[in-house]
Amino acid sequence: MKTRRIIAIAKRDLKRTAREPAALFMIFLFPIVFVIAFGGAFGGIGGSSSPTYGVGVVNLDNISTGVATGQQWSSLFVNSLSATKILNVQAYPDNETAQMDLAQGKIQAVMIIPSGFGASCSSFLASPGDASKWVNTTVLLYFDSGSLFATQAISPIFQQVLGTLLDGGQQTVAKPISLSTPSLVNVQKTSAFDYMAPGMFAFASIFMIMIVAQSFALDKENGLLKRIRMTPTSPSEFMMSQVLSNMVTAFIQAAIVFGLVYLMGFRPLVSSITIVLSFGLVLVFSLCNVGFGLITATIAKSSGAATGIAFLFLLPQLFLGTFVGASLSGAAQSASRFVPSFYVTDALTSLLLRGAPMTSPTILLDIAILVVSSVAILIVGILLFGRILRES
Amino acid sequence: MKVEAEKVMSPAGSPQVPDPEAMNQMLPLGERRAAIEIENLSKKFDVVAVDGLTLDVMEGELFGLLGPNGAGKTTLINMLCGLTKPTVGTAKVGGYDIIKEIDKVKDQIGVCPQETALFPYLSGRENLDLFGSLYLMPKDALKKRSQELLAGIGLLEDANRRVGKYSGGMKRRLSLICALVHEPEIAFLDEPTVAMDPQSRHAVWGFIRDLTKDGKTVILTTHYMEEAQELCDRVGIIDHGKLIALGTPAELIEKYSAKHLEDVFLQLTGRNIREEL
């Protein structure tokens, strides 16, 4: 395998991307327009006007215990939630009334503070390192399943506030009070746009399926693949060049998206290593999109047909695997486990938004599934298109 | 008649051993080494495209491959270039077997395909650079060669324009020099002058003649009989995959008592219109 051939063909592809208006739009300009549009619509522009979400709080601790510290802890927790300015916290006397308002859409979530909440906080404060002395409690959460904001935003905010309350936000792994969402939020002020930002990396990259499919189908149509085959270039050199050029494109695309979402207020409070890892995940995901593009180009008889067929792979990835998926039905959310974009979005959300460590089991599982599925799809694409290449 | 390699004397008087390649080029066509040896070559798709074809093309020869649409010319070239595997038979190109040593064959040949397969978003010069790079040409040599070829084919002024903006004739000329950028010993030119104006066609003819002067072997397919008559040392007429006539244009004209090569062609292949599907 000769590096010079691989680089020569990869350079050709990058020049095509830069010089063809349609490819340039889909790869680079579309994500820019899209990020600005979504940023404007969901709070990325004008940070002070971020929306607030109604949360009903039933404080059983306040009612059932007469212990002064217990009342202070739960009140402090509720006040801290109100102070985020994102949540509009409303007190409810009982769960039944709160559930009624939730069912009617007046609020988007209900939180039940259990009777032992204050005791849990006190026990943690007294012996932060000795879990055997803690009083364990669970805060019950009810979300409006149809609300993107409730399902995506509220739980991490609770986690963040609770963490700050107990240990000043030091992200102590174990605590006596548990929520349904295990990860912690590291951002002080979170808008809906912040929850969408990780998904935007995947969203933009998915459109590579169409570009790859169109370019291969067009090269096939115009006899360019045949002409390359007439030279000493081997199929493996050709395929390697495609992978290389598309990974460069994906990297530039990710950098543009990252720069834009940053300019629009997304501030992931993570280390530079985490950001590098995030870019790495986007590059791995781009392999999957190249694979789908190759499969599409194999099936398509023309570049026009390739555009249509590309949507078969593109739409499920978009609607099930990126941030759009959070507002889908339970069945659709289950289906999202079958698209690779879900895993890259989930991993990026955990890394960049929830501040979860790279070694967390959720992220490791996401990365494992993403790598295996992307490489498998790429191999299938190369094998299928390689046959076309040999027959062209 | 074999011409013996003679020892010649240098001006200083010391004996010089003549270059065997140069000596080979000095021989009459029939006595040169074969650049392409085709033996009983066949290719069957749904129909038999090439049927038991046997032919030798000599080094430095400009050989015209003629035939109506669908006669099997392009299939034959595709087999010789390694794009299609023969069903039966063997062939050697530049001394290398087209099945067992196709990588070596590809290093020896340059192919100008029937369709103008160029990268429209690259400039003419960038197209040449790309093809030269695929043959791993040294960068300096590639730059020099590109400049020579662009000047030779009349594209120097437009070398930095994108090929998508070229006229049809310009694209054909560029396609031709892309096939020759790496100075192949054997060139397959599949209808290189199709849809060209007379000026461009004559420029290309001059270019092709220069190739054979440099000792290159050229296989030229064309539908223009006057082109074959004007350029080719020998022509072979193929129909239904079989070689039905072989000789110099003058020999064929004389043999079939025709005025032009086109008359010979029509006598042998008939006047029915053929369509290639």
Strand ranges across the sheet with A140-143: A87-92, A53-59, A109-113, A140-143
Q: Which two tokens stand for residue A118?
A: 């204050």
For residue A229, list chain B residues with Cβ-Cβ distance below 8 A: 82-83
> Are A55 and A107 contacting, i.e. CB atoms less than 8 angstroms apart?
yes
B126 touches chain A (CB under 8 A): yes
- Look at residue B187 in the predicted model and tell me its pLDDT: 95
Interchain pair A231, B115: CB under 8 A: no
Q: Please give, rounded to a whole number of angstroms, the shortest distance from the CA of A357 to a CA of chain B.
A: 45
For residue B111, list chain A residues with Cβ-Cβ distance below 8 A: 227, 230
Q: Which two tokens stand for residue A265?
A: 């207020």
Residue of A nearest to B80 (CA): A230
- Look at residue A324 in the predicted model and tell me its pLDDT: 54
- Look at residue B128 in the predicted model and tell me its pLDDT: 96
Q: What is the 3-state secondary structure (H, E, C) of chain B?
A: CCCCCCCEECCCCCEECCCHHHHHHHCCHHHCCEEEEEEEEEEECCCEEEEEEEEEEECCCEEEEECCCCCCHHHHHHHHHCCCCCCEEEEEECCEECCCCHHHHHHHEEEECCCCCCCCCCEHHHHHHHHHHHCCCCHHHHHHHHHHHHHHCCCCCCCCCEHHHCCHHHHHHHHHHHHHCCCCCEEEEECCCCCCCHHHHHHHHHHHHHHHHCCCEEEEECCCHHHHHHHCCEEEEEECCEEEEEECHHHHHHHCCCCCHHHHHHHHHCCCCCCCC
Contacts of B25 (CB under 8 A, 6+ apart): B32, B59, B60, B215
Q: Coil, strand or helix: which one is A113?
A: strand
Place of tokens 């290593």: A273
Mean pLDDT of B94-118: 93
Q: Give the least confident one: A114-118, B2-6, B63-67.
A: B2-6
Interchain pair B162, A19: CB under 8 A: yes
Interchain pair A16, B121: CB under 8 A: yes
Q: Which two tokens stand for residue A96?
A: 């039944």
End-to-end Cα, chain B, rounded Å: 46
Helices (H), A264-352: 272-299, 303-321, 330-335, 340-348
- Look at residue A328 in the predicted model and tell me its pLDDT: 67
- Look at residue A65 in the predicted model and tell me its pLDDT: 45
- Look at residue B8 in the predicted model and tell me its pLDDT: 40
- Look at residue A205 in the predicted model and tell me its pLDDT: 87
Element (H, E) at A271: none
B108 touches chain A (CB under 8 A): no
Q: Coil, strand or helix: which one is A100?
A: helix
> Are B73 and B224 contacting, i.e. CB atoms less than 8 angstroms apart?
no
Contacts of B187 (CB under 8 A, 6+ apart): B109, B110, B111, B112, B179, B180, B211, B216, B217, B218, B219
Among candidate residues A313, A261, A336, the one with its CA nearest the CA of residue A39? A261
Q: Coil, strand or helix: which one is A186?
A: coil
How far is Cα of residue A313 from the mean position of the Cα atoms in its chain?
A: 19
Of the two residues B232 and A327, the one the predictor is more confident about is B232
Place of tokens 């065997």: B20
B141 touches chain A (CB under 8 A): no
- Look at residue B101 in the predicted model and tell me its pLDDT: 94
**Is the confidence at residue B141, as pLDDT, over 90?**
yes
> Are A277 and A358 contacting, i.e. CB atoms less than 8 angstroms apart?
yes
**Is the confidence at residue B30, as pLDDT, over 70?**
no
For residue B126, list chain A residues with Cβ-Cβ distance below 8 A: 12, 15
Interchain pair B117, A5: CB under 8 A: no
Interchain pair A12, B122: CB under 8 A: yes
Q: Which two tokens stand for residue B19?
A: 């270059």
Measure the CA–CA gap between A202 and A323, rounded to whole angstroms: 9
- Look at residue B276 in the predicted model and tell me its pLDDT: 57
Residue of B nearest to A20 (CA): B121
Record: fold of A52-178: abc type-2 transporter like fold (3.40.1710)
Report how many Cβ contacts below 8 Å link chain A to chain B. 63
Residue of B nearest to A21 (CA): B121
pLDDT band at B9 (very low <50, low <70, confident <90, very high): very low
> Are A52 and A192 contacting, i.e. CB atoms less than 8 angstroms apart?
no
Q: Please give, rounded to a whole number of angstroms, the shortest distance from the CA of A266 to a CA of chain B.
A: 37
Question: Strands, DSSP E only, in chain A?
Answer: 53-59, 87-92, 109-113, 137-138, 140-143, 177-178
What residue ranges do the domains of chain A occupy? 3-43+192-391, 52-178
A1 touches chain B (CB under 8 A): no
Mutate to test the interface with A, among B79, B114, B116, B134 (most CBs of A within 10 A): B134
Q: pLDDT tens digits for chain A (392 residues)?
A: 889 999 999 999 999 888 888 888 877 888 888 778 877 766 555 444 445 678 888 888 854 444 555 457 888 888 888 887 778 888 888 888 887 777 666 677 888 888 888 888 888 878 887 888 888 888 888 877 656 666 677 777 887 788 777 776 565 556 777 664 433 233 334 567 777 888 888 888 898 898 889 888 888 888 899 999 999 998 889 989 988 998 899 899 888 888 888 888 787 767 888 889 999 999 999 999 999 999 999 988 888 899 889 999 988 888 888 865 556 677 877 888 899 999 998 888 888 876 777 888 888 999 999 999 999 999 999 998 888 777 66
Measure the CA–CA gap between B25 and B47, rounded to whole angstroms: 39
B131 touches chain A (CB under 8 A): yes
**Is the confidence at residue B79, as pLDDT, over 50?**
yes
DSSP letters of A27-61? IIIHHHHHHHHHHHHTTSSSGGG---EEEEEEEHH
What residue ranges do the domains of chain B occupy? 62-78+102-269
For residue A221, list chain B residues with Cβ-Cβ distance below 8 A: none
Of the two residues A319 and B277, the one the predictor is more confident about is A319
Q: Residues in chain A, how many?
A: 392
What's the burial of A37, exposed, middle or buried (CB within 10 Å: 0-12/13-18/19+)? exposed
- Look at residue A106 in the predicted model and tell me its pLDDT: 67
Which of A:6-25 have CB within 8 Å of B? 7-9, 11-12, 15-16, 19-20
> Are A279 and A183 contacting, i.e. CB atoms less than 8 angstroms apart?
no
> Are B129 and B77 contacting, i.e. CB atoms less than 8 angstroms apart?
no
B256 touches chain A (CB under 8 A): no
Mutate to test the interface with B, among A231, A237, A303 (most CBs of B within 10 A): A231
Interchain pair B121, A15: CB under 8 A: yes
Of the two residues B26 and B137, the one the predictor is more confident about is B137
- Look at residue B175 in the predicted model and tell me its pLDDT: 95
Residue of B nearest to A227 (CA): B117
Interchain pair A4, B107: CB under 8 A: no
Mean pLDDT of B70-83: 92
> Are A157 and A81 contacting, i.e. CB atoms less than 8 angstroms apart?
yes
What's the burial of A3, exposed, middle or buried (CB within 10 Å: 0-12/13-18/19+)? exposed
**Is the confidence at residue B6, as pLDDT, over 90?**
no
A4 touches chain B (CB under 8 A): yes
From A4, A222, A226, residue closest to B83, measured CB to CB: A226
A224 touches chain B (CB under 8 A): yes
Candidate CATH numbers 3.40.50.970, 3.40.50.2000, 3.40.640.10, 3.40.50.300; the one for domain B62-78+102-269: 3.40.50.300
How does pLDDT run across B107-123, given as a tens digit for each residue? 999 999 988 899 999 99
> Are A213 and A296 contacting, i.e. CB atoms less than 8 angstroms apart?
yes
